[in-house]
Amino acid sequence: MSGILYLIPTILADDTAAQVLPAQIATHVAALSYFLVENARTARRFVKSVAPAHVIEDLRFTVINKDSSEAEIRAALQPVTAGQDAGILSEAGCPGVADPGAELARIAHQLGIRVVPLVGPSSLLLALMASGMNGQSFVFHGYLPIEKAKRIAALKQLERAALTQHQTQLFIETPYRNMPLLDDLLAHLQPSTHLCIAASLTAPNEFVQTHTVAGWKGKLPEIHKQPAVFLLGK
């Protein structure tokens, strides 16, 4: 029989694990010795923080990132097909959502491996919950185009969907590009469109507010290099 592949939610701030993660996360991490990770250094730090009895040198960490080939992913899953349980760890948040964990889960299903998502914080759902926007019809778009003209066109398209369909539009950005994105949002969207900015969710410096585009002008938060979710709504 094959092993089980666990998708393990992680946290933004190392000292918030006890307040944010369910107890079962630490229990599962403590029982695992093989991890498929996006970044080995941060994964080791997380494992040690939630399962301090682990001897890190005795554990195996295999890096699977956006550049990994299907052959590399299949090779990384070979111990699981042979019967060993493993855990997927992303840089932050829930594996499989806007990160390479999705490819691991996809190929694991092809190989007949049982995939088990563990309960934990999702910045997307937390942001939606706190936004006050429509939680019954919403779409997550991931990252928008980097090139400015294409990004502005994408924002206007999302705004049309939000206003005409009453459908909340969620998207994210690489943290060091947050402020240029905010500038584009304020410069190119209608003043009455609602914008929620949700940054550093579950961390001590968490920020969540919703205003109209006009209402945000002059009081944008400083969220440079902070992980953030942006939401557009009616």
> For residue range 113-159, what is the model confidence (pLDDT) as tens digits?
999 999 988 999 999 999 999 999 999 999 999 999 999 999 999 99
Give the integer Cα–Cα distance in Å for 35 and 84. 11
The predicted pLDDT at position 195 comes to 98
At 153, give phi and psi (nearest 5°).
Answer: -65, -40
Residues 227, 30: Cα–Cα separation, whole Å: 27
Residues of the chain with CATH 3.30.950.10: 123-233
Average pLDDT, the chain: 94
Q: How large is the average pLDDT for residues 50-59? A: 95
Of the candidate ranges 14-28, 76-90, 94-108, 183-197, the one whose mean pLDDT is the lowest: 14-28
pLDDT digits (tens, 9 = 90+) for 75-96: 999 999 999 999 999 987 889 8
Name the fold adopted by 4-117: Cobalt-precorrin-4 Transmethylase; domain 1 (3.40.1010)
pTM of the model: 0.90
For the chain, residues classed under CATH 3.40.1010.10 are 4-117
Alpha-carbon distances of 9 from 84, 117, 230, rounded to whole Å: 20, 8, 21
- Fold of domain 123-233: 3.30.950
Q: What span, in angstroms and rounded, lies between the C-alpha atoms of 211 and 115? A: 39
Q: What is the spatial distance between Cα 32 and Cα 107, in angstroms, rounded to a whole number?
A: 20
Q: How far apart are CA 155 and CA 139, in angstroms?
A: 13
Percent of the chain whose pLDDT exceeds 70: 100
